[in-house]
A and B are shown apart, each in its own frame.
Chain A
Amino acid sequence: MTFGRTLRLGFLVGAMVTFVVLARTPRISIPRVEPVTATGEGGVIVETFVVDMPADAVALTHSGALPLEVVPASAPKLTDPELDRGLALLAKVRNERGEVVGFLSELALTAKTDGDRVGVGDWTLVFPGRGTLFLHQEAPGRALVVGGTGSLAEAKGALVAITDGTKAKDGALVGKVELRLVREPAA
């Protein structure tokens, strides 16, 4: 067999294998809401999300030592010794037009433990039909993208949480938390 024929045969086999793999890969049909974005300095993509508290809070729990209401009130608390500095939040996410476009979890450690820093937290934002963003927060207010999926798989950037429009009232955070996502333009 000549090198040319070997190459052609290899190409054919490769194409067939690719076809079979693609045909067997499950696809998921999910409706999506188109993102509302703006372009900032240097071409960065800016997208603003809003969590309207307390209406958008789905669940919130912690050890019980924090001055925040657990939601729902009967939710189990993180009273286990290893978790007593933890805080977990599930919330709905709106775009800047106020439409619910996704949901998130924020998992945080609110006080110093061995190996942790105060204010360390992790955000996971899910936008059905678009993908997911994984963010890690080392300092209060700003989280860095550490990974993503779907159309956000290659995302690089940061999320800034702006809580100026909120206040604590009767153990609950009231007002709009603005989450400003700044992404680098796609290469």
Chain B
Amino acid sequence: MKLAWLAIAIALGGCSLVGSSPTTRTVSESFFIDVPQHGVALTHSGKMMLTAGPPGIPLLEEKAIRNGVAIIMKMRNADGDVIGFGSELEVFPANANLLEEDVVWDTDWTLVIPGRGTLFLHQREHSGELGPKVIGPTLKSGKPWVGDWRVTSTVGKGVIAGGSGEFEGARGWFIESIRLERFEKKGVMTGTVELAIHRQTSS
């Protein structure tokens, strides 16, 4: 009896592979944001450990949005050419303590690549050891943290929520990783964010 079930399972698995492999493939592509030079605007409640800017930017002070972070940035390809712009909109949990906890929050990316289309991405991110390893020591010493700290901030995998143009109907996943090289007490970061996108396409 068990052999019969095993045979059925193998057959179903085989059919699944045969049915999907010729028509589905994964296209991988990374986009990069160099911080701070690609930053256009960043705002939040005014109480986060990041510098809001440019000077004069309104803060997200209202009760319903005071856990939000909104960023506009340019982005480049792997060759270093600026090829698009985007927004990163985040919502943190109430009373998040980045200094002492591994905080998890929701992030939505919208990436516009003129001539190609738009990608909408959603993920959960986490701060990992950013607080204890970078922010905490910087605040304590008052001196800029300088180093080479690399982290995958995506919890698990982020998802492609939709798209337009070349990316219309896109499905797949992505990973955000960060290379931090400098952090100043006033909240200025220097480093690179990479969004590694893996799209499943039919051919």
Q: Which residues of A pack against B, CB within 8 Å?
A: 3, 6, 26, 28-33, 57-59, 61, 72-76, 78, 80, 82-83, 85-86, 88, 90, 92, 99-105, 107, 109, 113-116, 120, 122, 124, 126, 128-129, 132, 134, 136, 138, 146-150
Q: Which residues of B contact A86 (CB under 8 A)?
A: 85, 112, 114
Main secondary structure of the interface of B (DSSP, over half): strand
Q: Which residues of A contact B89 (CB under 8 A)?
A: 103-105, 124, 126, 132
Q: Which residues of B pack against A, CB within 8 Å?
A: 1-2, 5, 39-41, 43, 54-58, 60, 62-65, 67-68, 70, 72, 74, 81-87, 89, 91-94, 104-106, 108, 110, 112, 114-116, 118, 120, 122, 124, 126, 155, 161-165
Q: Which residues of B contact A61 (CB under 8 A)?
A: 40-41, 72
> How far is A92 from B70 in the complex, measured between Cα atoms in Å?
10
Contacting residue for B155 out of A26, A30, A102, A132, CB 8 A? A26
Q: Given A100-B64, A114-B115, 13 other A-B contacts at CB below 8 A?
A: A6-B2, A32-B64, A72-B57, A74-B55, A75-B41, A75-B54, A82-B84, A82-B114, A88-B41, A88-B87, A100-B62, A146-B162, A150-B106
> How far is A124 from B87 in the complex, measured between Cα atoms in Å?
9
A28 and B114 contact, CB distance less than 8 A: no
Q: Which residues of B contact A126 (CB under 8 A)?
A: 68, 89, 91, 108
Closest beta carbon of chain B to A101's beta carbon, Å: 5
Q: Which residues of A contact B94 (CB under 8 A)?
A: 29-31
- Given A102-B64, A147-B120, A28 contacting B40 (CB threshold 8 A): no
Q: Which residues of B contact A114 (CB under 8 A)?
A: 115
B57 and A58 contact, CB distance less than 8 A: yes
B120 and A122 contact, CB distance less than 8 A: yes
- Given A75-B40, A109-B112, A88 contacting B85 (CB threshold 8 A): yes
Closest beta carbon of chain B to A46's beta carbon, Å: 20
> How far is A30 from B124 in the complex, measured between Cα atoms in Å?
14
